[in-house]
Amino acid sequence: MKVLSTVQMRVVDGDTIRVGSERIRLRGIDTPEMSELEGPAAKRRLEELLRSGSIRIEPRGRDVYNRLLADVFVNEQNVADTLISEGYEKTRS
């Protein structure tokens, strides 16, 4: 379990963050890409959530792009669940 400050964290898009050199992919959600209509809004919301409290990252493995797959919590709330409940998940075609 790691608790991190947001100083060392950067949001890449709505479902990926970078901590130092490590790319971390939120487990359980796929948000629109930055080139898609809702992509920038999803990124902004993730940034807001990560600034709103203490962050805990629970690694769950690696994806096909070698990004760390993780459950990310802010104030013990799962960030992916919050984004899904707020409608930021990409609609499946």
Number of continuous H segments (helices) and E segments (strands) in the chain: 2, 7
- Burial class for 45, CB neighbours closer than 10 Å (0-12, 13-18, 19+): buried
What gap in Å lies between CA 42 and CA 62, rounded to an integer?
22
Given the residues 25, 27, 45, 56, select the one marked as catalytic.
Answer: 25
List the catalytic residue out of 10, 18, 23, 33.
33
Instruction: Please tell me what DSSP assigns to residue 36.
Output: S
Candidates 27, 45, 67, 89; catalytic one: 67
Annotated catalytic, 33? Answer: yes
Catalytic site positions: 25, 33, 67
